Chain A
Amino acid sequence: MTVSGAAEALRWEPSAEPRALKLRAALNAAIRGFFADRGVLEVETPLLQRSANPDPAIEPLAIAGGEGYLRTSPEFAQKRLLCAGSGPIYELGRVFRAGEAGRYHHPEFTMLEWYRPGFGLAELISEVADLINLSLRLAGAEDLPLVQVRYAELLEQHLGAAVPVDLAGLRQACVTLTSIDDVRAAALSEDECLDLLFTVAGEALPVDQLTFVTHFPVKQAALARIDPTDPTVALRFEAFAGGMELANGYDELRSAQELAGRFADDNRRRKAAGLRPLPIDQRLLAAQRSGLPACSGVSVGVDRLLMLIGGYEHLHQVLSLAEPEL
């Protein structure tokens, strides 16, 4: 170990300044007040689970011995409560994702996730904007105006042209608009090209507004319902504050059969990418067979929300004790 590495290993001081710790405490209290006022019940669900979300883009941390996983989101557990008739619920808790570390990522982070039976996406988008603006006011900042844009429109605005429909065109757009070189771009799949273009388009969104991106292509549906009026798009949104992604919401997929199909497809894609398939949450499938009420749900990255309202540049600055080595 180098001298500086040894010094780093013994650095015990908090990564957040006292102001950031106080802001987090105040935000947690404000979030609880926000949902208490609206009659949304706070719940706690297990961090340790026997199954995992097979989404190939999210890697869970397996516990030693391989008997279980730390949750990557409280989504599946909360949906079982919804199936049991919980009514509107929220959870403010830790989630874990392997290999995610950077300015906007930390392998352990705080997620606020809530579900609203009877809400469509429009009502939920409005509620997410209310919560973000409440948080901004808490820190003495001004409300940000809400702007909505469709996924395809966002990419078109950034490309300055229609989104290419062929893979060669998408790869060329990646080379033109990002710092990937043509050899590496030639190895990207259609989804990967779209993810890269969406990333840079999101980063370039105007500051001083909350942008809600809607109408995601069906391949990017994740666990959202397909739009019954337009089968090419999913009822999903992502919220950005300036260029920072803050929230991801769905009009939730209710069909257990379709959910099982998407899980199986995820595991097929995991295998194709050289990742091990993950055990499916059979209890969630059983719960959804008994019936998930029509609902919309969203997760908000609380640490990023703190970065926004506190004016911090790095996630570590809002974590009491960040683990830079993880």
Chain B
Amino acid sequence: MATYSTQEFKSGLKIILDGDPYTIVENEFVKPGKGQAFSRVRVRNLKTGRTVEKTFKSGDSVEAADIFEQTMQYLYTDGEFWHFMHPETFEQHAADAAAVGEAAKWLKEEDDCLIMLWNGAPLTVEPPNFSELKITETDPGVRGDTSGGGTKPATLETGAVVKVPLFVNEGEIVKVDTRSGEYVSRVKD
């Protein structure tokens, strides 16, 4: 079992606490002038996203989490799992709903996603920052109004609903920022 000592703690380090994988967000070295040193760390649970604080005595060890990130191509979903392919080994990995989470509504086939793997299994799925998706349903556009101003909801091919300007029409492709869920621009074919 690989372990890390508190001396190796730094932000980004992946560790196991109480059976869950965590990433270190911040590590603070605290020590009274003449006394035992401690590490006070803020850690984020990679499953739940929750951040908590933990204190360790300096020199204590924690189990290392076998975690690495890999860009993979999204293939398809069978409703229960989302399937991704490693670009070099062509090995396929199936991510469940817990791992895919909010990313599900942005995933388009052939998009490259950043997959975090824990013990070889997908833990989180990060869609590309920008995704180009077709509008499958929205109210009819207001011709000539390209100045912006008003917005209306539009349903995209993945099922996501975003606010788009009034002039954008059904069947058009739009660029969306997947981090904020906001419309960026129309994409001309």
Interface residues of A (CB under 8 A from B): 55, 57-58, 99-105, 178-181, 184, 187-188, 191-192, 194-196, 198-199, 202-203, 220, 222, 238, 245, 248
Contacts and interface: CB of A to CB of B under 8 A. Distances in A.
Contact of B29 (A101, A238, A248): A101
Interface in B2-59: 7, 27-38, 40, 52-58
A195 B34 CA distance: 9
A100 B29 contact: yes
Nearest to B7: A99
Contacts of B110: none
B contact face: mostly helix, strand, loop, or mixed: strand
B179 to A, nearest CB: 20
Interface residues of B, number: 22
B38 A103 contact: no
Nearest to A196: B38
B36 A195 contact: yes
Contact of A192 (B28, B30, B36): B36
A221 B141 CA distance: 80
B60 interface: yes
22 contacts: A57-B34, A99-B7, A102-B29, A103-B29, A104-B29, A104-B30, A105-B29, A178-B55, A179-B40, A180-B38, A181-B54, A184-B56, A184-B60, A187-B57, A191-B36, A195-B35, A195-B36, A198-B32, A198-B35, A202-B32, A220-B34, A248-B33
Given A179-B54, A220-B34, 8 more contacts: A55-B34, A100-B31, A105-B31, A180-B38, A194-B35, A195-B36, A196-B36, A199-B30
B35 A57 contact: yes
B32 A195 contact: yes
Contact of A180 (B35, B52, B54, B58): B54
Contacts of B31: 57, 100, 105, 199
A24 to B, nearest CB: 21
Contacts of B27: 102
